[in-house]
A and B are shown apart, each in its own frame.
Chain A
Amino acid sequence: MKYLLTYFKKFKLESILAPLFKMLEAGFDLIVPLVVANMIDIGIRSHDTKYILTRFGILIAMALLGLACSFTAQYFAAKAATGSAKGLRHELLAKIQSLSFTEMDTIGTSTLITRMTSDINQVQNGLNMFLRLFMRSPFIVFGSMIMAFTINTQLALIFLAAIVVLFIIVFGVMLLSNPMYKKVQGKLDAVTEATRENLNGVRVIRAFGREKTQIERFAAANDTLLRSQLRVGHVVSIMNPLTYVVVNGVIILILWLGSQKINAGLMLSGDVVALINYISQILVELVKLANLVAVLGRAVASMGRIGQVLDTPSSMSFAGRAAGGASDVAVQFDHVSLRYAGAGAESLTDITFTATRGQTIGIIGGTGSGKSSLVHMIARFYDATQGRVYLNGQPIADYAREALPRTVALVDQKPLLFAGTIRSNLLWANPDATDEQLWQALELAQAADFVRQKPHGLDEKVEQGGANFSGGQKQRLTIARALLSRADVLILDDSSSALDYATDAALRQALKTLPASTTVFMVSQRAGSIAHADQILVLDDGRLVGHGQHQELLQSCPVYREIYESQFKEESLS
Chain B
Amino acid sequence: MKYKETLRRILSFARPYRLLILCSLVCALLSVAAQLLLPVIFGDAIDFMLGEGNVDFASILRLLAVIGIVMVIAALAQYCMALCNNRVTHSICRDFRDLVSEKLQRLPLSYLDTHRSGDLVSRMITDVDTFADGLLMGFTQLFTGVITIVCTLGIMLILNPLIALAVLILTPLSFFVAKFIASRTHRFFREQTLIRGEQTALINELVEGQRVVKAFGHEKQSLQDFDEVNERLADVSLKATFFSSLVNPGTRLVNNIVYAVVMLISAFYAMAGGITIGQVSIFLSYASQYAKPFNEISGVVTELQNAFTCAQRVFNLLDQEDQIPDDPQPVSPPVTGRVSLDHVAFQYTPDRPLITDFSLQVKPGQRIAIVGPTGCGKTTLINLLMRFYDVDNGTITVDGADIRRMTRHDLRGRYGMVLQDTWLCNGTIRENIAYGKENATEEEIIAAAKAAYAHSFIRRLPQGYDTVITGNGQSLSAGERQLLCIARAMLCLPPMLILDEATSSIDTRTEMKIQAAFNRMMEGRTSFIVAHRLSTIREADVILVMRDGHIVEQGRHEELLARGGFYATLYHSQFAEA
Interfacial chain B residues near A43, Cβ < 8 Å: 267
A56/B264 contact (C-beta < 8 A), A203-B419, A240-B82, A410-B215 known: yes
A259 at interface by CB-CB < 8 Å? yes
A571 at interface by CB-CB < 8 Å? yes
A207 at interface by CB-CB < 8 Å? yes
A210 with B436: CB separation less than 8 A: yes
A368 to B535, CA, bound (A): 23
Query: A51's closest neighbor in chain B, by CB?
Result: B267
Encode A212-227 as 1/0 by CB contact (under 8 A) with B: 0111011100110110
A528/B575 contact (C-beta < 8 A), A226-B94, A233-B82, A237-B82 known: yes
Minimum CB–CB distance from A19 to chain B (whole Å) comes to 14
Partner of B230, one of A89, A238, A465: A89
A365 at interface by CB-CB < 8 Å? yes
A416 with B241: CB separation less than 8 A: no
Interface residues of A in 45-65 (CB under 8 A from B): 47, 49, 52-53, 56, 59-60, 62-64
Partner of B210, one of A97, A209, A262, A365: A97
> For the complex, would chain A's binding face be called helix, strand, loop or mixed by DSSP majority?
helix
Query: A478's closest neighbor in chain B, by CB?
Result: B212
Query: A76's closest neighbor in chain B, by CB?
Result: B242
Query: B571's closest neighbor in chain A, by CB?
Result: A501
Interfacial chain B residues near A47, Cβ < 8 Å: 271
Interfacial chain A residues near B260, Cβ < 8 Å: 56, 59-60, 63
Query: A412's closest neighbor in chain B, by CB?
Result: B211
Interfacial chain A residues near B60, Cβ < 8 Å: 255-256, 259
A137 to B261, CA, bound (A): 27
A70 at interface by CB-CB < 8 Å? yes
Partner of A568, one of B506, B511, B578: B578
Interfacial chain B residues near A471, Cβ < 8 Å: 374
B45 with A205: CB separation less than 8 A: no
Partner of B426, one of A116, A194, A206, A249: A194
Query: A266's closest neighbor in chain B, by CB?
Result: B52
Encode B560-578 as 1/0 by CB contact (under 8 A) with A: 0000000001100111111
Interface residues of A in 420-440 (CB under 8 A from B): 428-429, 431
Query: B35's closest neighbor in chain A, by CB?
Result: A244
A195 to B264, CA, bound (A): 61
B226 at interface by CB-CB < 8 Å? yes
A124 to B46, CA, bound (A): 47
Interface residues of A in 238-283 (CB under 8 A from B): 238, 240-242, 244-245, 248-249, 251-252, 255-256, 258-260, 262-265, 268-269, 272-273, 276
Minimum CB–CB distance from A377 to chain B (whole Å) comes to 13
Interfacial chain B residues near A478, Cβ < 8 Å: 212
A402 with B217: CB separation less than 8 A: yes
A109 with B82: CB separation less than 8 A: no
B256 with A208: CB separation less than 8 A: no
A501 to B426, CA, bound (A): 36
A67 at interface by CB-CB < 8 Å? yes
A486 to B219, CA, bound (A): 19
A264 with B52: CB separation less than 8 A: yes
Contact count band on A: 35 or more
B479 with A368: CB separation less than 8 A: yes
A79/B238 contact (C-beta < 8 A), A202-B112, A273-B46 known: yes
A194 to B511, CA, bound (A): 31
B425 with A223: CB separation less than 8 A: no
Partner of B101, one of A97, A218, A498: A218
A259/B55 contact (C-beta < 8 A), A78-B242, A500-B373 known: yes
Query: B256's closest neighbor in chain A, by CB?
Result: A63
B109 at interface by CB-CB < 8 Å? yes
A501 with B219: CB separation less than 8 A: no
B234 at interface by CB-CB < 8 Å? yes
A128/B479 contact (C-beta < 8 A), A209-B409, A508-B577 known: no
B435 with A502: CB separation less than 8 A: no
A191/B412 contact (C-beta < 8 A), A244-B74, A248-B38 known: no
A233 with B90: CB separation less than 8 A: yes
Interfacial chain B residues near A104, Cβ < 8 Å: 210
A200 with B117: CB separation less than 8 A: yes
Query: B203's closest neighbor in chain A, by CB?
Result: A116
A117 at interface by CB-CB < 8 Å? yes
B507 with A369: CB separation less than 8 A: yes
Interface residues of A in 295-324 (CB under 8 A from B): none
A206 with B412: CB separation less than 8 A: yes
B548 at interface by CB-CB < 8 Å? no
Interface residues of B in 507-542 (CB under 8 A from A): 507-512, 515, 532-535, 538
A117/B203 contact (C-beta < 8 A), A263-B55, A404-B217, A501-B574 known: yes
Minimum CB–CB distance from B16 to chain A (whole Å) comes to 14
A230 with B101: CB separation less than 8 A: no
A178 at interface by CB-CB < 8 Å? no
Partner of A75, one of B55, B242, B270, B424: B242
Stretch at the interface among A150-158, A164-172, A559-567: A559-567
Interface residues of B in 189-209 (CB under 8 A from A): 196, 199-209
A198/B104 contact (C-beta < 8 A), A93-B223, A191-B125, A248-B38 known: yes
B233 at interface by CB-CB < 8 Å? yes
B42 with A251: CB separation less than 8 A: yes
Partner of B75, one of A59, A203, A244: A244
A566/B512 contact (C-beta < 8 A), A197-B472, A409-B215 known: yes
Interfacial chain A residues near B218, Cβ < 8 Å: 428
B576 with A505: CB separation less than 8 A: yes
B214 at interface by CB-CB < 8 Å? yes
A195 with B101: CB separation less than 8 A: yes
A71 with B246: CB separation less than 8 A: yes
Among A56, A208, A570, find the residue whose CB has the most chain B CB atoms closer than 10 A. A208
Chosen A-B contacts, 20 in total, with CB atoms closer than 8 Å, are A32-B256, A86-B230, A97-B213, A112-B207, A195-B121, A198-B105, A203-B419, A204-B435, A218-B98, A251-B42, A252-B64, A262-B52, A268-B51, A273-B46, A404-B217, A470-B374, A470-B375, A501-B576, A505-B573, A505-B577
Q: Which 10 A-B pairs have the closest CB atoms?
A: A265-B52, A367-B479, A237-B82, A63-B256, A502-B573, A566-B512, A233-B86, A405-B217, A86-B234, A70-B249
